[in-house]
A and B are shown apart, each in its own frame.
Chain A
Amino acid sequence: EADIYQTPRYLVIGTGKKITLECSQTMGHDKMYWYQQDPGMELHLIHYSYGVNSTEKGDLSSESTVSRIRTEHFPLTLESARPSHTSQYLCASTATQGNTEAFFGQGTRLTVV
């Protein structure tokens, strides 16, 4: 069973609001990731982290920001939501050593109206 959790599962919010999507894992993984996925499309990496106090931008440019103050927590923030931010956001983590499987959360489906 994957021990990685995202909240909320669904969020409908008005334009201009600040939002934070939560992601937590209890596996002690150092590496964590945020992917963005539009309906019927592939996942695109928008942020990742090697560990505490490490954040990097991914392949797809995003107006969101992330922080990594604790190993288990990797929240994503949008300062001012816009309709173009409507998408599904997926959080994942992997173990530090070697090349092992990634564990994904259930995702947050964000709709900005």
Chain B
Amino acid sequence: DAKTTQPNSMESNEEEPVHLPCNHSTISGTDYIHWYRQLPSQGPEYVIHGLTSNVNNRMASLAIAEDRKSSTLILHRATLRDAAVYYCTISSGSARQLTFGSGTQLTVLP
């Protein structure tokens, strides 16, 4: 299964954009890139996913490198409620199971 590598932690100021990077150099051609975030004592919450093209939704944007070996989650205006652990995951296999990395702890400063 493809592995992901993320920085352990990042900080952002409130109302500023945040770019969370992820490396997945062993990704296969049919694997999807998913992002989830997790608050303490909660299950992960879906943020966004994509295959090759950049994706936008109401929560965030996902920029995928042309060679698909890396991607960046973009939060356009960070709020205090965005503070969480963000996981870049790879969805693979016939069951589309998710392979999680160690995640990035995002701290948002007021």
- Chain A residues at the B interface, C-beta cutoff of 8 Å: 31, 33, 35, 41-45, 48, 50, 56, 58-59, 90, 92, 94, 99-107, 109
Contacts and interface: CB of A to CB of B under 8 A. Distances in A.
Contact of A90 (B43, B49, B95, B97): B43
A48 B94 CA distance: 11
Given A42-B87, A102-B34, A56 B95 contact: yes
Contacts of B42: 106-107
Interface string B73-110: 00000000000000100010011111111110000000
B85 to A, nearest CB: 9
Given A99-B51, A101-B34, A45 B99 contact: yes
Give the interface size bracket for B toward A. 20 to 34
B100 A42 contact: yes
B91 A99 contact: yes
Contacts of B36: 102, 104
Contacts of A109: 41
A58 B96 CA distance: 12
